[in-house]
A = this chain, B = another copy of it.
Amino acid sequence: MGVHQYFKSLSDLEQIIRCPGKFKYQEHSVASHSFKVTKIAQFLGTVEEKSGQKVDWRILYEKALNHDYAELFTGDIKTPVKYASKELKQLFNEVEEEMTRKFVEKEIPSEFQAIYLERFKEGKDETLEGRILSVADKIDLLYEAFGEIQKGNPEPLFIEIYEEALRTILLFQDMNCVKYFLEHILTDMLNERFTEHDELTGIAMRIIEEHNG
């Protein structure tokens, strides 16, 4: 029934929780993830531009904003399923494209259909913008896994996700933004202080002494 349905569907993305089937201290929706990936891509694009690359910002923002929209139609399929066989992955991609196409034809008014079909295409191509999206998507995933590990999640899956995300980022280490990330951001992440109980006694003692000294 048109754009009203499309606008309403944005709120459904707030209801899809990433990484289902595992205990998490903090849950993240596809809507929040898309927001964060777009903001991260904005920073990475800024680094590339500073380094002399030409960034097509309109394209970059479109890719980042829309990169997970198709999960609305397919739900959250676990990665090992998708990649279980080349044949399955191929078929799955065809189904995803078909469903997206049908949604666009049903809900988007005809004068905008071409634009939206373009917007909902797989964004992770070999262009600079496609590569920035690939990196930004994995950086947010790395932060999600880091958040769980830092909060004490004993589930080994988050260590595996952390490793896999970092490995993928390294595939793009010829990019200026990835070099920047490894040098200036990852370092700070690894240096994060872990709040320790033992500190508390020290802090309390110090405050009391200072005050009375």
Interface residues of A (CB under 8 A from B): 1-8, 10-17, 20-23, 25-26, 28-29, 31-32, 34-36, 38-40, 42-43, 46, 50, 57-58, 61-62, 65, 71-78, 80-81, 84-85, 87-88, 91-92, 95, 98-99, 109, 111-112, 115, 119, 139, 143, 146-147, 149-156, 158-159, 162-163, 166-167, 170, 173, 182, 184-186, 188-190, 192-195, 197, 199-201, 203-204, 207-208, 211
Contacts and interface: CB of A to CB of B under 8 A. Distances in A.
A200 B204 contact: no
A201 B7 CA distance: 19
A65 B35 CA distance: 8
A153 B4 CA distance: 18
A146 B199 CA distance: 12
26 contacts: A3-B188, A7-B139, A11-B23, A13-B32, A15-B23, A17-B20, A20-B20, A21-B72, A23-B26, A29-B32, A35-B65, A38-B38, A46-B115, A73-B78, A73-B80, A74-B77, A74-B78, A81-B92, A84-B98, A85-B91, A109-B184, A150-B154, A152-B152, A154-B195, A170-B207, A190-B204
How many copies of this protein are present in the complex? 6
A154 B20 CA distance: 23
A10 B140 CA distance: 10
A71 B8 CA distance: 25
A75 to B, nearest CB: 4
